[in-house]
Structure 1
């Protein structure tokens, strides 16, 4: 860190950002973030086992950094991980094996790799897919009716609906869906006692090995026998006329198959909990389904499944007058940006008609979420099917959030309901 950083005394509130358990405690997390926005919006954090970073908690600063992608780079530290995990990931990449997804890349390579899958998420592709998504939404609401009057909405409904959508788009066989779900839980749940595979970075990296073994076989199959699915597009994708490297190809599958459903699961379950906890907004939306578009955006803002990304300064710069040296990293606190009092009117009020809603839950700029349109459509379809059939719903137990510093949300949402 720079000399200015070394002289700083760390704000105790900033420690929550380097504590996975804080993300399982909304009250604790948001109290700390509100303090930082008001008193220390560019906060120095040196809290092991993570390397130091600067926490960026204001919406305007997050947006400015996302826009300046030539100054603020994804490599070599795209997300918060322990120093040990960072070192292991670097060593693996240097050895030709490791994770290098779109979130790890910078332009111009990022732009070229992103283009390989982009057509599958453009408006025309979404229109073509909508009938199938609506059918699946009905299937899972029907399932909810069948297993009622109680269920764990996360494990029974919210995870399976988007999982089925994205893995069908990839062209994976349905018998493999459970395996993909388990690996996703283990990868994003490395800080959560219920989900993590092991306690060491090596044990957790074994999850990546399992992903790569599966997708390596899939790549070979799709190159030999291409089919009309996203998996074939990835397997046969070319950059500058050459097939993508093994690392880039396998990593592409991993990010689509995992983040492509897990983040949507978090937004769906977080959205339902918000409706349950705000019955007036539930009644408002049920009475006027034309609000579904704004309601979905509010659910996404409210839940913010991706908690952060990180960027590294390509040269000496500053934020709000605070000097940031070349090579230092910033933590973009999306959860905080989405509750910024200067951007959102009453940010802690859940409002299904909120407009405008300039949330940063999908990121911004060149790294804007590739699957944002699909996530929005899935949520719109599910809640449009569910709410008119829902006579009543209440909590049947305590909701549980996952411990994480990256992607997460509700892992259990027990509900009691009456459904037509």
Structure 2
């Protein structure tokens, strides 16, 4: 069955992701009626929508068959693709980070920082992260009985952690947050740098380029400094790193910084804000975890599944193949829908319920296989520590107004989570 035009549009429309109901209803329809089929949307090349958990895993585990770098790693229009290739000398991607790489480069570049993000190394950061978490919880308590949990806590806490790891001074954190939101929120007039809806491809690309250039200006200066004065931080690893026996190229180094400085906090922020929103709407789950703090790790996993901040990645077939009985041709483009995989009825019982004690919870929010999220252990640790510190002090919580979500079809989550609370 071909994907109906309205469903296909909901897959690409940033506003559908701001209105959870729309996007989740579209993906539920797809899983039931057209779990692996081609979407045709005006302005876009046709692409396969991979909506089931099993098919997503199948694609993710076959890195030689489904590439990241051959075409854009995120959904883009025909016009934008043409302009990017002209600008980047034929490459379909403005950045060249781990996300836009295939082997052998992917493995080599990943290895450069992998040890920094392994659990044994992160254990050394636990006390400092706990101190940072307590500081933000104290600030929340000082607000009295009302705050916007997204803006006052969830956006700032993971930002501070990753900036310390990276080596960015605290004074520059507001700049990093603003640039991150501009980069991931280009489709949302509340957070992009123009303050308006983006219609024109050229205008959108100019805006993305301006944001990327601001990041590059900042991190070029940092690279120079860390080459002269290396420190025990991630920036020094990137600045002085070598791949295939050569220093990192300018684009690769800048892309490495940018992905660490953006994905390194934004996804955790979205998940943390989404978790409190879910707890405020499900007082039984709030009480369940508050009464048994040993449930915090499973609540963290459930909040990651529930929010799924990375909405999609694209893959390109390198050869003709078959997937779930469908013939995929060489150079076909595949849209991996992580929110859909994480609501798959075949894998998750009662998938539209937030269950703090859900087990097992084999979500695909961090991806799978060679491209599994590099920072997954740090993200889990930050969230676990925050809830370990916050839940014993939080007596009650409820929504205090209507929460809102960012309009974006790549990375998005809560924009505002106004709450009323009591703390001791």
Give matches, 1:178-189, under 5 Å: 178-189=174-185
What is the rounded CA distance, in whole Å, between the counterparts of 1:241 and 1:358 in structure 2? 38
Q: Are 2:126 and 1:130 equivalent residues in the alignment? A: yes
Unaligned 5+ segments in structure 1 are: 1-6
Q: Which residue of 2 aligns with 1:3?
A: none
What CA deviation, in whole Å up to 9, does each residue of 1:325-350 have, x standing for no partner? 11110000000000000001111111
Stretch moving more, 95-104 or 157-166? 95-104
Conservation of the 8 A alpha-carbon contact between 2:342 and 2:364: yes
Q: Which residue of 1 aligns with 2:57?
A: 63
Q: CA RMSD in A?
A: 1.5
Report the 3-state secondary structure (helix = DSSP H, G, I; strand = E; otherwise coil) of the residue aligned with 2:140: helix
What is the rounded CA distance, in whole Å, between the counterparts of 1:82 and 1:305 in structure 2? 22
Q: Which residue of 1 aligns with 2:422?
A: 418
Q: Which residue of 2 aligns with 1:116?
A: 112
Conservation of the 8 A alpha-carbon contact between 1:296 and 1:380: yes
Report the 3-state secondary structure (helix = DSSP H, G, I; strand = E; otherwise coil) of the residue aligned with 1:346: coil
Report the 3-state secondary structure (helix = DSSP H, G, I; strand = E; otherwise coil) of the residue aligned with 2:422: strand
Residue 95 of structure 1 deviates from its aligned partner by 8.1
Equivalent position to 1:238, from 242, 248, 253:
242
Cα gap change, 1:9/1:409 in structure 2, threshold over 3 Å: closer, same or farther?
closer
Report the 3-state secondary structure (helix = DSSP H, G, I; strand = E; otherwise coil) of the residue aligned with 2:421: strand
Report the 3-state secondary structure (helix = DSSP H, G, I; strand = E; otherwise coil) of the residue aligned with 1:291: helix
What is the rounded CA distance, in whole Å, between the counterparts of 2:269 and 2:207 in structure 1? 25
Q: Are 2:166 and 1:144 equivalent residues in the alignment? A: no
Q: Which residue of 2 aligns with 1:396?
A: 400
What CA deviation, in whole Å up to 9, does each residue of 1:229-264 have, x standing for no partner? 000001111111100110000000000000100000
Residue 265 of structure 1 deviates from its aligned partner by 0.4
Unaligned 5+ segments in structure 2 are: none
Q: Are 2:290 and 1:294 equivalent residues in the alignment? A: no
Report the 3-state secondary structure (helix = DSSP H, G, I; strand = E; otherwise coil) of the residue aligned with 2:9: helix
Cα gap change, 1:216/1:398 in structure 2, threshold over 3 Å: closer, same or farther?
same
Q: Which residue of 1 aligns with 2:80?
A: 85
What CA deviation, in whole Å up to 9, does each residue of 1:47-76 have, x standing for no partner? 133322110000000000000010000012
Q: Are 2:46 and 1:52 equivalent residues in the alignment? A: yes
Q: Are 2:177 and 1:173 equivalent residues in the alignment? A: no
What is the rounded CA distance, in whole Å, between the counterparts of 2:221 and 2:173 in structure 1? 16
Cα gap change, 1:213/1:84 in structure 2, threshold over 3 Å: closer, same or farther?
farther
What is the rounded CA distance, in whole Å, between the counterparts of 1:189 and 1:225 in structure 2? 34
Residue 93 of structure 1 deviates from its aligned partner by 2.8
What CA deviation, in whole Å up to 9, does each residue of 1:214-240 have, x standing for no partner? 111111111121111000001111111
Equivalent position to 2:263, from 240, 259, 264:
259
Residue 322 of structure 1 deviates from its aligned partner by 1.8
Q: Which residue of 2 aligns with 1:206?
A: 210
What is the rounded CA distance, in whole Å, between the counterparts of 1:203 and 1:14 in structure 2? 26
What is the rounded CA distance, in whole Å, between the counterparts of 2:419 and 2:44 in structure 1? 37
What CA deviation, in whole Å up to 9, does each residue of 1:27-54 have, x standing for no partner? 1111111110000001211213332211
Conservation of the 8 A alpha-carbon contact between 1:10 and 1:44: no
Q: Which residue of 2 aligns with 1:407?
A: 411
Conservation of the 8 A alpha-carbon contact between 1:18 and 1:50: no
Cα gap change, 1:391/1:9 in structure 2, threshold over 3 Å: closer, same or farther?
closer
Residue 26 of structure 1 deviates from its aligned partner by 1.1
Residue 17 of structure 1 deviates from its aligned partner by 1.0
Equivalent position to 2:37, from 40, 43, 58:
43
Residue 10 of structure 1 deviates from its aligned partner by 4.0
What is the rounded CA distance, in whole Å, between the counterparts of 1:189 and 1:234 in structure 2? 26
What is the rounded CA distance, in whole Å, between the counterparts of 1:47 and 1:278 in structure 2? 37
What CA deviation, in whole Å up to 9, does each residue of 1:81-124 have, x standing for no partner? 22333233333332899411110000110000011111110112
What is the rounded CA distance, in whole Å, between the counterparts of 1:9 and 1:411 in structure 2? 30
Residue 415 of structure 1 deviates from its aligned partner by 0.6
What CA deviation, in whole Å up to 9, does each residue of 1:6-28 have, x standing for no partner? x9564532321110100011111
Conservation of the 8 A alpha-carbon contact between 2:147 and 2:418: yes
If the length of structure 2 is used for normalisation, what is the TM-score?
A: 0.95
Q: How many residues are paired up?
A: 414
Q: Which residue of 2 aligns with 1:379?
A: 383
